[in-house]
Structure 1
Amino acid sequence: MLRTTEDEQNVPPLKRWAELQEQAAELLAGVHGARDEDEARTILADDLEARNADTALYSAVQGPSNRPDVTLLDVKELYRQERVHDDTKDHQRLDRIFARIEKAIGPLSAVKLKELKREHARTTRDYYLTMKKKNGEFLAVNSIKREFKTINAAINLALVEDDLKGKVANPFEHLVVVRQGDTEVAEHEQRDPLPKDVILSMRIHMERKVKIPELRLIWTLLEGTGCRVSEVVGLRVEDVVLEGAYPHLRVVSHDGRRLKTKVSNRLVPLVGETLKAAQEAVVLAGGAANLFERYAADGKSTAVSKALMNYLRNYTKDPKHVVYSLRHNMKDYLQSAGVPERDEHRILGHSEANMGDRVYGGGEARLRAAYEAMQKAHAWMP
């Protein structure tokens, strides 16, 4: 009796199919004395059956099989391969999302992309709306919407790659996600800027109590630039430009770090204490390629966030006060200083609504404007 191993059931069907075709071809090449390919396949198939071999390999040897239909498991792995790349946190997030889909509608390998219906999407949405966090609260609608954006992107990618775009609809598109009685909270309302007393307390804490200098420098750079944790932790020494009239950080995608969006690639001016922190960080790097070599490994930005959050919780228990709040602080400083929205967006890495702002203007002029805007913003910092 032929068998199928449990591990093989978790392999995406398309990947498994390709592997079997290759394996069958290699085995057939080793069959000698057969009059033709059909006889070679028969000899090999009989041998595999006698040895209780894998049923799928047996079928592949018996005759070239048709390419299987794309399943949701294939969709997941294609998205991982094409979009997720090396970030451990993003891999974990993708696994979590598709595990939730599986709990809602069944095994991913059993759901064919071309047979995906609106009912599958609604069932998945309804499952999400019943989910609760560890504290017993329901998963926020905005969090659900973010995960559904990933689901939509993964399905759309698979439709394009499998030449199904325009032939098969994506049933997750334009799906309304609301919870009865909920008042939707805008993204900017989920986090608050840190109060002045908290910022001052954190500065003292980082200066006097933290034994790891990299964490102190990272905090200073976060506070003085409005950058994301991953953007600062992922800096290379070559990304710190200290010479010239306008010292700055080059926040760019590279092999060790991919950015959230295309507009996240930007030049962020270094002013005041932030410039001093950058200078100290370069010296501390000691010739290493990465500015913060201690945290350069994949997934380390999460560890940095957790460490900084542990310090922050000594001074505020408000759940809306997090490390990311420093971006909101910088936005407030820029707005209080009357900085044009164009320069605010360039500093924080947000999309610019005006096409002219996005396209026109030389690099030096843009950097000078951003530098002057950052100087004004720093005047408002406590």
Structure 2
Amino acid sequence: MARPALKLKYVKLDENGRFRYRRRVPKSLHRALGKAEFSKVLGISEREATLAYGEYHRDVERQIALVNSTGEIATPLEHHEHIKSFFRLNGLTPHGPGATTDEKTARREYSEEILNKYPLIEETGAYEGVSEADSKLVVALRLGADTVQSEPTVTDAFHLYLKEKMNPDPFKQRKNVNNFRRIEEHALAAFGSNLPITKIKRSHARALRDRLLKRMKPASARRQINNIKAVINFAAREYDLAECTCFRNLEYPEASTAPSDLREPLPTDIIDSMYEALQPHPTLLEIWTLMHHTGAQNAEILGLHIDEISLGDDVPHIEIKPNSSRGLKDSARRRKVPLAGSRALKVAKDIKARETESGEAFPKFAKPRGHDNFSNQLMRILRRFTPDRKHGIYSLRHNMKDSLRAADVSSRLQDAILGHSLGSGAQANYGSGFTLQKKQAALRASLKGWHPPLDRNSPLD
């Protein structure tokens, strides 16, 4: 009876009954990697093959990942990783020119194989057009892997930061990656090259600030500088390097508008018009109603699950917490918000009465791309009634804030309803927070100040 093949990716029994790892290299990477295939005998028993598989497979993955689609390795740190994995894959000692005569011979053969990819200039005896990656690898083969020094660069820092700080919310993850990629591009342009992070100076920081100020408002430029400062110092800490201080205390021009001017609450007549215009769009109307009556962000409502709506309790409410559809920005966003007002209660009951396969209240818009789709649809309707750029979906949170303030609700209770941070230090962490009854009373008080057509039959008492 034939021995069954071990179920490891790329591993099969060869003609001699040995477990062999065989993996073809994409054609575009043949030149950069110097081979068309990775092949290695892992052992003659399943146990031997299983023990040898993990490290070898990881190194193959690393070799392929480090070489991009153009066949070039991007950064010095990646060059060093490429060399280390090459040495491991081929069983070479990292120090010196080779531990044995056989290893020295093997290294010489590897070097010749790499260089023979390039044309030889007979007059000089040099090879023409040798890539930086191949040049460094040949040096390492001749003298030892440790002779090729490397420092993490700006690109390395961004790569590490995005890998380690990945947001669990797919929608926010995509936004974060796009945002950090933009500031990385600005940094590379302002610095003039992909600098090692230890070489970034105050002049580079000022050049980046000036570049950003030509393209955005001071507040946005400051935020982007804070982002790259976080990236660079995270990398410095992870690579045991000195903290970069060059981005500290940069000067910015005074902002032309106050933060409160960036977004304004919607006038009552526009809110009334939106309720009328959304009648033919029941799902949009439900989402709009919940946002308006709870002050929640659109992503918090779009990612709501049906089981996070509670109608059987003394205080009907929604619970905003991380779930499979979306995460939360911070712990303060996790909260319970009462459903005050007849419109909000009716929407909640309608949602609870239906079932979805995913358990999401709004499956069409719950996924990351659905958020953009929702925003585009709703903004097209809103723009029928207001061209003001300060009016947007987020304006509804400002409406709720103003309503709570007008009802003399304490600022800390407002924060608890809206999911704003309660501050830092010991005081913010004491106690169990405000009860649903307290929040309900605050929301009912705020509803009394609303325009009558909105919730004429609301249970305000």
Question: Alignment identity in percent?
Answer: 30
User: Unpaired runs of 5+ in structure 1?
Assistant: 132-138
Task: Specify whether residues 205 and 19 from structure 1 end up closer, same or farther in structure 2 by C-alpha distance, changes over 3 A only.
Answer: farther
- Letter aligned with residue 64 of structure 1: A
1:134-181 Cα deviation digits (max 9, x unpaired)? xxxxx22222222222222212222221222xx232311221221xxx
Aligned match of 1:45 in 87, 111, 126?
111
Aligned match of 1:196 in 250, 261, 268?
268
What is the alpha-carbon distance in structure 2 between the residues aligned to residue 106 and residue 242 of structure 1?
59
User: Which position in structure 2 is the counterpart of 1:322?
Assistant: 392
User: Unpaired runs of 5+ in structure 2?
Assistant: 1-30, 33-66, 93-99, 119-129, 452-461
What is the alpha-carbon distance in structure 2 between the residues aligned to residue 354 and residue 73 of structure 1?
33
User: Which position in structure 1 is the counterpart of 2:258?
Assistant: 186
The 3-state SS of whatever aligns with 1:319 is coil
Q: Does 1:64 align with 2:135?
A: no
Q: Does 1:149 align with 2:212?
A: no
What is the alpha-carbon distance in structure 1 between the residues aligned to residue 355 and residue 263 of structure 2?
32
- Letter aligned with residue 338 of structure 1: D
Asked if the contact 2:73/2:79 (under 8 Å) is kept, the reply is no
Q: Does 1:160 align with 2:237?
A: yes
1:281-328 Cα deviation digits (max 9, x unpaired)? 344452423222112222432221222111100000111111111110
The 5 A counterparts of 1:1-382 are 7=70, 9=72, 11-15=74-78, 17-28=80-91, 35-52=101-118, 55-57=132-134, 59-60=136-137, 62=141, 63-65=144-146, 66=148, 68-85=150-167, 86=170, 87-107=173-193, 110-131=194-215, 139-164=216-241, 167-178=242-253, 183-207=255-279, 209-210=280-281, 213-272=282-341, 273-353=343-423, 358-362=428-432, 365-382=434-451
Asked if the contact 1:285/1:293 (under 8 Å) is kept, the reply is no
What is the alpha-carbon distance in structure 1 between the residues aligned to residue 107 and residue 305 of structure 2?
56
What is the alpha-carbon distance in structure 1 between the residues aligned to residue 449 and residue 426 of structure 2?
29
Task: Specify whether residues 233 and 23 from structure 1 end up closer, same or farther in structure 2 by C-alpha distance, changes over 3 A only.
Answer: farther
- Letter aligned with residue 307 of structure 1: Q
Q: For residue 114 of structure 1, report the CA deviation from its aligned partner.
A: 0.7
Q: For residue 359 of structure 1, report the CA deviation from its aligned partner.
A: 2.2
Asked if the contact 1:45/1:58 (under 8 Å) is kept, the reply is no
The 3-state SS of whatever aligns with 1:7 is coil
Give the TM-score, by structure 2 length.
Answer: 0.71
What is the alpha-carbon distance in structure 2 between the residues aligned to residue 215 and residue 195 of structure 1?
20
- Letter aligned with residue 43 of structure 1: E
Task: Specify whether residues 239 and 353 from structure 1 end up closer, same or farther in structure 2 by C-alpha distance, changes over 3 A only.
Answer: same
Task: Specify whether residues 54 and 354 from structure 1 end up closer, same or farther in structure 2 by C-alpha distance, changes over 3 A only.
Answer: closer
- Letter aligned with residue 230 of structure 2: A
Give the stretch that moved more between structures: 84-93 or 48-57: 48-57
Give the TM-score, by structure 1 length.
Answer: 0.84
Task: Specify whether residues 103 and 340 from structure 1 end up closer, same or farther in structure 2 by C-alpha distance, changes over 3 A only.
Answer: same
Asked if the contact 1:28/1:41 (under 8 Å) is kept, the reply is no
The 3-state SS of whatever aligns with 2:179 is helix
Q: For residue 357 of structure 1, report the CA deviation from its aligned partner.
A: 6.1
The 3-state SS of whatever aligns with 2:368 is coil
Q: For residue 235 of structure 1, report the CA deviation from its aligned partner.
A: 2.0
Q: For residue 76 of structure 1, report the CA deviation from its aligned partner.
A: 1.3
What is the alpha-carbon distance in structure 1 between the residues aligned to residue 406 and residue 425 of structure 2?
25
1:323-367 Cα deviation digits (max 9, x unpaired)? 11111000001101111111100111112248676323336x533
Give the stretch that moved more between structures: 298-307 or 340-349: 298-307
Task: Specify whether residues 256 and 42 from structure 1 end up closer, same or farther in structure 2 by C-alpha distance, changes over 3 A only.
Answer: farther
The 3-state SS of whatever aligns with 2:364 is helix
Asked if the contact 2:232/2:244 (under 8 Å) is kept, the reply is no
The 3-state SS of whatever aligns with 2:435 is helix
1:100-141 Cα deviation digits (max 9, x unpaired)? 22222223xx2111111111110011111222xxxxxxx222
What is the alpha-carbon distance in structure 2 between the residues aligned to residue 36 and residue 236 of structure 1?
64
Asked if the contact 2:304/2:320 (under 8 Å) is kept, the reply is yes
Asked if the contact 1:337/1:377 (under 8 Å) is kept, the reply is yes
What is the alpha-carbon distance in structure 2 between the residues aligned to residue 118 and residue 154 of structure 1?
16
What is the alpha-carbon distance in structure 1 between the residues aligned to residue 426 and residue 449 of structure 2?
29
- Letter aligned with residue 394 of structure 2: Y
Q: For residue 24 of structure 1, report the CA deviation from its aligned partner.
A: 4.0
